[in-house]
Amino acid sequence: MLVLSSGNESSNSASAQGVDEVFRLQGSARSVTGQGLRAEVERGAIDSLAARVAAFFAENQGGPRVVMGALPFDRSQADYLFQPQICADAADDRGSAGKRMALPDAVRCAITPVPAPVAYGEAVAAALKLIAGSAGEPDPLTKVVLSRSLELASTHEFDAARLLAALARDPSITAFSTLLPAGADAARPLLVGATPELLVSRKGSEVVSHPLAGSARRYADPAADRASAAALETSEKDRREHQAVVDAVFDALSPYCRDLNAPEGTTLRSTASMWHLGTRIVGTLKDAQTPVAELASVLHPTPAVCGLPRERSAEVIGQLEGYDRGFYAGAVGWADEAGDGEWYVSIRSARLAGRHATLYAGAGIVAGSDPAGETDETSAKFVALLSALGIDEHGRPLREHAA
């Protein structure tokens, strides 16, 4: 159970002093927030995550009994977790989050795609050749998730709180914002996004994961939207891609659970901009003391954001993508001293630092994938963030389209 005290600090006095919000995880029923940075967990690779979190609580007796933050995509890179001065459940305020971020009239965003769409399509084609070439091997490469990014430069400083509020208009996603480690940027970076995918949660002995894989664009026209959903639901390629992710989650969690099942089976799940195939997986821990940090460390990254086999697909991603994902396609969440917590896959996200932002989106490449189709899928996945910013993929204000 998440402990929502602030230790020796006074919540009222801290709030009155205007302590900055450093973390927010806003779901459909509740929001967990952190204000102020009290202490940082020793940074390290994901294999040592559970041990480092346990050591932090043993060595730090003050403050809220919770840490929060982000895990990077690369298992060997250092994570960034911290203890806030104040941790609280926040009321769900989606009803007040009804407007885009609405950049000022004078502002224009310069957008540079990295890689360019044509280069991304070429990377998809290269991945398909590697998949086909490994078909006869004992442990063949069957899936690679390739992403691309949009680099935004603006005369306006991006407002993370307003962007988060705009993203949270969609009740089907979990909106998030978390502080990132200081880098070369003049401003302290934040990771902000809207994810539909639960990596893992633990509450007592109950464990839940809700992987998504297999996606299709949504349309404003109802008939086209229904056709898109129906095509996804019956797509052999997407069903195959999705089942591989489900199997991997079962394989990772089975050693920890005395029972593990998918009560609803595979279902269609929608966000405001995308259709997804999803399977909710529920289990009961054999050992109720197993912390959520350990479960996250064995699950991440799932084939939904990396591929299969995990190590080989990660190597291919490093060769073909051309940039460091950082905390994109990692995980964002919290863990308390009792071992409870929840971690969401940090997809559909943006790294904000002052007047600069980097937006990310990816697609799963399997046998039968089409480079043009996968490029279009990433464009569709950019829509949520771009719409929240009030611009299109070329940096033009959306209000110009309506004029």
Return the active site residues.
143, 197
Nearest residue to 40 via CA among 82, 84, 71: 82
Token pair listed for 382: 């950019």
- CA 275 vs CA 8, 199, 227, 231: distances in Å: 46, 18, 11, 10
Type of residue found at 167 = L
